[in-house]
Structure 1
Amino acid sequence: MPVSTVSIPVGQWLVSSEGVRWWFDSGSFALDFAVTGALGEPAAPRAASAAAANERLHAPDDLTEWLRDRFPVAVGSARSRDLFDAVALRDAIVRMARAAAQGDELRGGDVDVVNLYAATPDIPPSLGGGTRQAGRSVHTVPQALATIARDAVDVFSPENAGRLRECDGPDCSMVYLDTSRAATRRWCSMQRCGNRAKVRAHRARKASANGRVELDQTAA
């Protein structure tokens, strides 16, 4: 089975360039984070400006909001240095995800970045219902980034070989971890590219049927 061990709900609502709201299950918390940058829906697939067009972390407050929306524990406010670190980690994850989805070797420099952040203290797991506060009551942004990096270590492990995939949509380059048991997922979302494929298939069948009718009429 695929590996993604961070016990944080995965997936997020996105808005397409057409203004359509859709649910993207990346299969991994680290890949969810990567969607804040170039792994997000590109304005033009593979365009050099895709990263800038999809950038969501413009300021430290953007990073603070993203982390606080997802972590079940309190996370402190991000500083400029935290934003720099977050973007460096995220962009390494993006490049690794693209490479893995295309069957290419991961860049050593990107692996080093993920390992560096994963080696720092993360947000420890905890059980509710206790009577004493253990550890920090408010966790730091570097701890949150370490948690993301450790999930990335799991995501890019050999156990997930072949499960990092790029959406089959002809105009989509979203990457996800296929966590389905049979490893047969094809689309970033059935609400979006899966539905578009169904519409295209229906139109193709209809056009083919109409073509056969016209041929029959001509033959008659």
Structure 2
Amino acid sequence: MEPGFVLRPPSGGVFRFDPGTLWLDLLVSGGPGELAVFETLHTPADAATWSGLCRLRLDPARVHVTAGELTALVRLRDGLWELAWALTRGDPVPPGIAALVDRAAAPPPPAPRLRVTGAGFAREWTLPATGTHLLSAVARDVVDVLTGPHADRVRECGGHRCGLVFLDTSRPGSRRWCSMERCGNRSKVRALRERRAPDAG
């Protein structure tokens, strides 16, 4: 299944957005401050639903999240938004982020399983899983990304007032948009209109 989320922003339209890695998948679920209007993690069941939509693709019916684990997941997500903003804007990493990630990463994540298919092999996850498993998987992904070859490729979409954040895993490292069908096309249309506009002088 193609990674990413089908987003329906309040401004209208529907588009697919692939954040590029698991920890940025979590940011799609909402966030602090002005991002609270996009909140989707209201109940433990919502966290289980997210586990089926993110790149883990777990079976939500077999993911059991407690109220305390939901609170920890939201706390981690909001901290990761602060981390993402620091990375994309060149600001200092907020204090306490490393400790927040380390605590979440300490328990084991979901255990992988090998499935033999007609075309070769596929990875599955040992279920049932818990909210603590989800926290660990997300936090370990933060460590992997920020200590890996794409550590400097956490980007904010170049679209006007978009704000979505993604990991640019393209070979040339030239991804600019959350989605070409949304912000990429809007930018092209805006640039075309500006070129066609009569000179002010």
Instruction: Judge conservation of contact 1:30–1:152 (CA < 8 Å) in 2.
Output: yes
Distance 1:96 1:182 in 2: 24
Instruction: Judge conservation of contact 1:14–1:22 (CA < 8 Å) in 2.
Output: yes
Larger of the two Rg values belongs to structure = 1
Q: 1:112 to 1:49 in 2, by over 3 A?
A: closer
Instruction: Judge conservation of contact 2:5–2:53 (CA < 8 Å) in 1.
Output: no
Distance 1:199 1:52 in 2: 30
1:58 to 42, 56, 78: 42
Q: 1:36-58, CA deviations, whole angstroms, 9 ceiling, x for partnerless residues?
A: 123xxxxxxxxx84132121111
Shift in Å, 1:158: 5.7
* Greater shift in the superposed pair: 187-196 or 107-116: 107-116
Distance 1:114 1:16 in 2: 29
Q: 1:88-116, CA deviations, whole angstroms, 9 ceiling, x for partnerless residues?
A: 11112111111111112222311111111
Distance 1:165 1:136 in 2: 32
Shift in Å, 1:14: 0.6
Instruction: Judge conservation of contact 1:115–1:149 (CA < 8 Å) in 2.
Output: yes
Distance 1:160 1:33 in 2: 18
2:159 to 169, 185, 203: 169
Is 1:12 matched with 2:5?
A: yes
Q: 1:13 to 1:142 in 2, by over 3 A?
A: same
Is 1:23 matched with 2:16?
A: yes
Distance 2:126 2:18 in 1: 30
Distance 1:72 1:164 in 2: 22
Distance 1:188 1:104 in 2: 21
Is 1:113 matched with 2:106?
A: no
Q: 1:94 to 1:49 in 2, by over 3 A?
A: closer
Distance 1:156 1:146 in 2: 15
**What fraction of aligned residue pairs are identical, expressed as a percent?**
38
| Residue pairs, 1:63-142, within 5 angstroms | 63-70=47-54, 71-74=56-59, 75-129=62-116, 137-142=127-132
Question: Secondary structure of the equivalent of 1:126?
Answer: strand
Unaligned residue ranges in structure 1 (runs of 5+): 1-7, 39-47, 130-134, 216-220
Shift in Å, 1:73: 4.5
Question: Secondary structure of the equivalent of 2:113?
Answer: coil
Q: What is the number of residues matched between the two proteins?
A: 191
Distance 2:66 2:147 in 1: 31
Q: CA RMSD in A?
A: 2.4
| Residue pairs, 1:37-56, within 5 angstroms | 37-38=30-31, 49-56=33-40
Instruction: Judge conservation of contact 2:154–2:167 (CA < 8 Å) in 1.
Output: yes
Question: What letter is aligned with 1:66?
Answer: W
Q: 1:172-201, CA deviations, whole angstroms, 9 ceiling, x for partnerless residues?
A: 211111111111111111111111111011
Instruction: Judge conservation of contact 2:108–2:136 (CA < 8 Å) in 1.
Output: yes
Structure with the larger RCO, 1 or 2 (CA within 8 Å, 6+ apart): 1
2:175 to 167, 171, 185: 185
Q: 1:110-136, CA deviations, whole angstroms, 9 ceiling, x for partnerless residues?
A: 11111111111111211024xxxxx96
Unaligned residue ranges in structure 2 (runs of 5+): 117-124
